[in-house]
Amino acid sequence: MALRKGSRSKLLAVFVLGMMLLFSVRLFQLQILQHDEYVQRSAAEQIRPLTIPAKRGLIYALDGSTPVPLVINQTVYTMFADPVMVTDPDKIVDVINRVAKDNLQPNPEALLSIKNSRYQILGKKLTRRQAEEIKKENLQGVGFQAVTERVYPEGKLAAQTLGFVNAEGLGQYGIEAQYNDALTGKDGLLKSVTDVSGVPLTIGNRNIHKPAKNGDTIVLTIDRNIQSYTEKALVRGLKKAGATNGSVIVIDPQSGKVMAMANFPTYDPANFGHVKSAAVYNNPIIDEPYEPGSDIKTFTVAVGIDKGVILPNSTYNNQDFIKVDDWVIRNATRGHTGNITMQTALNYSLNTGMVTIVERLGDGSHINLQARNTMYGYFHDRFGFGKLTGIELPNEQPGIVIPPTDVQGNAVRYSNMSFGQGMDLTMVQVASAFSTLVNGGVYYTPTIYGGLLHEDGTFMQAPVKQPKTGIITPKTSKLVHKMIHDARAKFYATEDKAGYDIGGKTGTSQTLENGRYVDNQTVATYLGYGGDTMPRYVIMVQASGKGLNLQGNLHALPIFTDISNWLIDYLKLQPKR
Amino acid sequence: MSYQTTQQLYSSRRRSSLSNTGSGATWNRNQNTVAFVSSMKLGPVAHTILVAMMVVVLGLVYLTQATRATSYDYEARDIDNRIAELTTKKSDLEVENARLTALEAVQKSKVAKAMVAPAATDYAR
């Protein structure tokens, strides 16, 4: 039937056509013009980005040549409750008391009665077994949150070397800070379409799966047995001396590897917040320069021999004092006056002998610029005093060695430096340089980074750092080596195991207060080596305390002797016959 | 659905060909000379229904496969959870092992306490 013009059917057709046109325009707007926006909205609802957390790398030490863990990770659980959802608070308290009493927060009944709160922590650091046992009870309104924490199987061992990880997951102090990036690894990413429960589904072509890269597992050069014995020997020695602070570093003079680094007081890295002062986190061996005292005389003697101005049996006239410009420098030990050898000067730690050596570096009677330049060239440029050693630990301090061109770098300063005053050095600097004196004149950069432990258990050792040869000649080293041995043997031979090559030098240094040396507070130091056919270890000990007069021979030397005699057995050194 | 029955069930092509051509054309060996014609004929409605059914079947096949893929996801999820659980257990055991082999634990062990220092040491060279 044909429609008449103006009929309702025609109007309807026009209306429908118009609506369709309207829909088409709207669809064009939604699907073409606003396509990207709606795709984004859709993705936001359907695709959920999930972070795959990387595991923080572990830290190992050595036991002989076998890596053993010092810092590992453990998953622990925080138990929480929603007081609104809790139906049987008595049962909850009863269960947690039975299963994890030590982890319980104080007064859990009160926590569960806070009905205007939806989250109350009932217990912390529960083990997986404890959490599973509690879960079996099907307690209404109780949940668990997994948390990874650092665990220290060896307790406080090498705490300042290790550092700790703070609540934000950042390494603080020690190796944790130095290698934070390597230990942290890199989180992975999973972007996936999920179902209503949040379970990732493989459907969709916009899924992204980037696996996490776990942090590196670092192996230190520290030997846990040497570290443990050193820490105990230090505590024993300090207690006997009545000292409150002390440090010991043990280095392999043939490689620069740090075998132990002990400090007292120390702290427990698992409870790093429970300390009286944050100063205990520091590692004085690398970050607390001090005037090391008379042990530096071994270096002055080495410079004199290397420059050809003295030999061990060279003599000088000792009057127990020597004048430098307007200052009079006196010996601490008196009575060995007259013509005496440099060996005697070293044995009795005579300041006059050392000042004489520096004078001979110049014109023979004055500590002139040439003498000061020579001494600075050895102390600073060759031995590395006043410079960062580059050991792989944070916050290392360079110390201070005043150059001769400085107005402060005058003759008096350099005369003081010859016997270990007037310059601030770290123990790691001194011990590393001392290795050079006894190992033939080779400087090894001190290192504490031993390498990486791969997931398959293989230990990849770090490449050896290029040593610096010719710091002093091998001939000089041989002579100084013997002088240091004789200096110890003169007084303390009976304390050492027979048949071994042990040597060392005491140091007792005044301390500065308000820019002036005080007499009622001294720091005791002992610097020595031990070995069989060659030096196998260098040990530097320091003991101090507020208002304490500590002597190198009385308070630091016994700690050296204790560690040295034990090391001989531990390293299985054979006596010379 | 409508259909009709044909009276002629088959027809010989040979005969019709011969009659059509009248030229006495020959047939090759094994060549069909009979064309069978179905007795059933489908109308447009039947075709529509068949197409619709095929679409439904294909749809079901697709849905089955898609559901199966999703069920694999849940299985994979369960396996992942199991792996995570076992990894945690392994980690716990490693921690336990480290604690038991720590110096402090070894030194306090009965074996260590029973040890004595050697009275003398000799060295083989």
State residue A564's pLDDT score. Answer: 98
**How many other C-beta atoms are found inside a 10 Å radius of the C-beta of residue A368?**
17
Compute the distance between CA of residue A505 and CA of residue A494 in angstroms, rounded to an integer: 16
Domain boundary among A189, A215, A241: A215
A193 lies in the same domain as A281: no
- On the question of pLDDT at A281 being above 60, the answer is yes
Q: What is the number of residues in chain A?
A: 577
Higher pLDDT residue, A294 or A48?
A294
End-to-end CA distance of chain B, in Å?
109
Q: CA-to-CA distance for B83 and B91, rounded, in angstroms?
A: 12
Residue A286 and residue A210 share a domain:
no
Write down how long chain B is. Answer: 125
Query: How many interface pairs between A and B have CB atoms less than 8 angstroms apart?
Result: 55
Q: How far is it, in rounded angstroms, from Cα A420 to Cα A379?
A: 11
Q: Which residues of B lie inside 8 Å of A (Cβ-Cβ)?
A: 66, 69-70, 72-74, 76-77, 88-89, 91-92, 94-95, 98-99, 101-104, 121, 123, 125
Interface contact A78, partner B, CB < 8 A = no
Grade residue B21 by pLDDT with cuts at 50, 70 and 90.
Answer: very low
Q: Extract the runs of DSSP E, i.e. beta strands, from A303-437.
A: 315-318, 321-324, 327-330, 338-341
pLDDT band (50, 70, 90) for residue A519: confident
Number of H helices, E strands in chain A: 18, 22
| A175 lies in some domain | no
- Asked if A75 lies within 8 A of B92 by C-beta distance, the reply is yes
The DSSP bridge partners found for residue A51 are: A189
Judging contacts by C-beta atoms under 8 Å, the chain B residues touching residue A574 are 123, 125
Rg (CA), chain B: 44
Helical (H) or strand (E) element with A359: helix A351-361
Q: Which of B5, B71, B85, B76 is nearest to B37 (CA)?
A: B5
Spatial contact of A402 and A423, defined as CB atoms under 8 Å apart = yes
Domain annotation covers residue A404: yes
Residues of B within 8 A of A69 (CB-CB) are 94, 98
C-alpha neighbours within 13 Å on the C-beta side of residue B77? 15
Q: Is residue A399 part of a domain?
A: yes
Distance CA A498, CA A68 (A): 33
Q: Does A268 touch chain B (CB under 8 A)?
A: no
A381, A390, A429: which is closest to A542 by C-alpha? A429
Decide: pTM greater than 0.90. Answer: no
Between chains, do A203 and B69 touch, taking CB under 8 Å as contact?
yes
Q: Per the structure, how many domains does chain A have?
A: 2
The mean per-residue pLDDT over the stretch A313-320 comes to 96
Q: What is the pLDDT of residues A345-400, one digit of tens each?
A: 999 999 999 999 999 999 999 999 999 999 999 999 999 999 999 999 999 999 99
Is cis: bond before A265, omega within 30 of 0? yes
The residue behind tokens 């570096």 is A361
On whether both A207 and A263 belong to a single domain, the answer is no
Residues of B in contact with A202 (CB under 8 A): 69, 72-73, 76
Question: Which candidate from A155, A199, A574 shows the least CB-CB separation from B123?
Answer: A574
User: How far is the alpha carbon of A436 from chain B, nearest alpha carbon, in Å?
Assistant: 29
- pLDDT of B57 reads 96
Owning domain of residue A504: 223-570
What's the CATH code of the domain at A123? 3.30.70
Q: Is the pLDDT of residue A124 over 70?
A: yes
- Looking at the domain assignment, is residue A456 inside a domain? yes
Which domain CATH number covers A388? 3.40.710.10
Q: Residue A570: is its pLDDT beyond 50?
A: yes
**Minimal CA separation from A195 to chain B, in Å:** 10
pLDDT in tens, A19-64: 999 999 999 999 999 999 998 888 888 888 888 889 999 999 999 9
Is A153 in CB contact (< 8 Å) with chain B?
yes
A193 and A228 inside one domain: no
Residue of B nearest to A197 (CA): B74
Instruction: Please tell me whether residues A146 and A280 are part of one structural domain.
Output: no
Q: Does residue A432 lie within any of the structural domains?
A: yes
Nearest CA in chain A to B77: A199
Under the phi-then-psi rule, with left for phi > 0, alpha for psi from -120 to 50, and beta for the rest, what region is A13?
A: alpha
- Closest chain A C-alpha to B13 CA, distance in angstroms: 50
For A172-227, what is each residue's pLDDT tens digit? 999 999 999 999 999 998 888 887 777 777 666 667 788 899 999 999 999 999 99
Q: How far apart are CA A427 and CA A101, in angstroms?
A: 46
